[in-house]
Amino acid sequence: MRCGMSTAESLAFERKLTWNRRHIRATYEVVMAEGAEHVRSLAGEAVDDQFDLPDLCARPQCRKEFRQSVGRGRKRDYCSETCRRLADRDYKRAKATVEHFEKLARRSRHDVLAFGRSADELDEEAVSDETVIAQAVAALGRVDAVLRFVGDADPRLVEELEALRDGVRGVVTRAQAG
């Protein structure tokens, strides 16, 4: 029984709601059925999109030709599941090899620095004059920046740094001109 309604009124209200629910459900089913007919008619007119194209296996050691079906879903990269697994294994091996040699290179750089030399000093013949001049110009820029913001530093250190800057600037100027 509903609040403020008699039993008869409440039953009449429930019957009306039930009829409305059935009517809405029936209308919805009709609309869905009409939509399905419409979709079927469009699908019958559509061009068949299920055909095959030739493709090559993405695994470098295989490169076998296989038929790639065009349509829904993800495109295949490999001719078989075996090739996919082998390619994944090869990728993991190559990645591990790169990581191993990068670790060795880091260790070697650390060893070189432990001897008090930079990596650039080891191969001085391979460094061009332009590279050396560019490094000197960059160093002069850093010195100018330090001198600009030196503040209350020891005057002897500031004078020494200025003397070094002036000496290197003269050499760089002559090297750039010649």
pLDDT at 85: 96
Give the tokens for residue 68: 């790639």
- Low-confidence spans in the chain with pLDDT less than 50: 26-28, 30-31, 38-44
CA pair distance 146, 123, nearest whole angstrom: 29
pLDDT at 41: 43
What total number of domains does the chain contain?
Answer: 2
**What pLDDT, in 10s, does the model give residues 126-137?**
567 777 888 888
**What pLDDT, in 10s, does the model give residues 7-31?**
777 667 666 666 555 555 544 454 4
pLDDT at 40: 47
pLDDT at 42: 46
In a domain, 3, yes or no: yes
In a domain, 153, yes or no: yes
pLDDT at 83: 94
In a domain, 146, yes or no: yes
In a domain, 162, yes or no: yes
Residue 141 domain boundaries: 128-177
In a domain, 150, yes or no: yes
pLDDT at 19: 54
CA pair distance 178, 167, nearest whole angstrom: 17
Q: CB of 78 within 8 A of CB of 84?
A: yes
pLDDT at 152: 77
pLDDT at 82: 94
In a domain, 102, yes or no: no
